[in-house]
Amino acid sequence: MTNRRFEEIDPMEEKLRSARSLEEEEQTVEEALLAQLDPLLEDHVIEEVIRPIKSGKEAVVYCCRASEALGGDLVAAKIYRPVERRSFKKDAVYQQGRERGARPDARTLRALGKKTKRGRLHKFSAWIAHEMRTLSLLHQAGADVPEPLDRVGPVILMEYFGDGERPAPVLVNVGLDADEAQPLYADVLRNIELFLVQHRVHADLSAYNMLYVDGRIVIIDFPQSVDPRYNDDAFDLLVRDVRNVNAYFEDYAVDLVDPFYHTLALWRQHVDPMR
């Protein structure tokens, strides 16, 4: 005998209801993220939130107007999503050896090792602090990365690229002129080497996290970056970075390096001459 309750369920209506529920949940999360900018507005670090410019699984980025103390220019506010929405299991390969590079105190190390809510909060904070520290290190070294300006809780305020109407495009959405592809490729490789000199491998580099800014490249998103001195997977991650960069430039008449042998040469020069 057929159960009529199941006959009355409309699959399309259930699908729409589920989609609406997810949309409402995401809107609630976005509103909570936007509220993280309130302390910066109250303290007049920023004067105006203009528009969202990027939304990802890990963070959202807003274009804001900075205070006069910061020059009054447009800035980017990167807001990390709540710790409850992060899976640190997936981040294990990037977390390896990070505490040695950051040199935290014993109390912080104990907290980072615990699988408790407090431990997760420490990891969340350390993840954000790592990007802030990496951006500062690389910007000071002359790398083509955004200048970090301030950090308040889960928000990193940094240099903005673009104008009031739209942000600078991501490289994957840009078609290059034939004469600019080779020098831009060389610039990316130069940055990769400069990162390594500063004990960093981006570890997630691709045309999706490079901006095309007035004929040059600016590399973004460093929370997963690793220290090659302390991370056993750093060499393979660097090979992957070079391979991903090649994947974009292979559509142009560019002399591409071999990802493995180029990484090996850099590694022997800057990390371990005996590899």
User: pLDDT tens, 185-197?
Assistant: 999 999 999 999 9
178 occurs within a structural domain: yes
Question: Above 80 in pLDDT, residue 174?
Answer: yes
Asked whether 223 and 58 are in contact (CB, 8 A), the reply is: yes
Q: Confidence class of residue 93 from pLDDT cuts 50, 70 and 90? A: confident
Q: Confidence class of residue 91 from pLDDT cuts 50, 70 and 90? A: confident
250 occurs within a structural domain: yes
Q: Confidence class of residue 100 from pLDDT cuts 50, 70 and 90? A: confident
69 occurs within a structural domain: no
pLDDT at 109 (0 to 100):
47
Q: Confidence class of residue 106 from pLDDT cuts 50, 70 and 90? A: very low
Domain range for residue 248? 84-143+167-275
For residue range 227-275, what is the model confidence (pLDDT) as tens digits? 999 999 999 999 999 999 999 999 998 999 999 999 999 999 999 999 9
235 occurs within a structural domain: yes
Backbone angle region of 240, left / alpha / beta, with phi > 0 → left and psi within -120 to 50 → alpha: alpha
CATH code of the domain covering residue 264: 1.10.510.10
191 occurs within a structural domain: yes
Higher pLDDT, 121 or 138: 138
Tokens of 108: 């912080």
23 occurs within a structural domain: no
Cα separation of 164 and 144, whole Å?
22
Most confident of 12-16, 81-85, 92-96, 219-223: 219-223
123 occurs within a structural domain: yes
Cα separation of 262 and 39, whole Å?
46
Helix (H) or strand (E) holding 46: strand 46-55
Cα separation of 173 and 212, whole Å?
9
Q: Count of domains in the chain?
A: 1
Query: What's the mean pLDDT in 28-40?
Result: 87
Asked whether 195 and 237 are in contact (CB, 8 A), the reply is: no
Question: Above 80 in pLDDT, residue 208?
Answer: yes
Q: Confidence class of residue 84 from pLDDT cuts 50, 70 and 90? A: low
95 occurs within a structural domain: yes
Using alpha carbons only, how large is the chain's radius of gyration in Å? 22
Tokens of 269: 């020069």
78: nearest Cα among 153, 190, 17: 153
Cα separation of 236 and 201, whole Å?
10
pLDDT at 21 (0 to 100):
56
Helix (H) or strand (E) holding 80: strand 74-80
CA distances to 140, 213, 234, 254 from 181, in Å:
26, 14, 27, 7
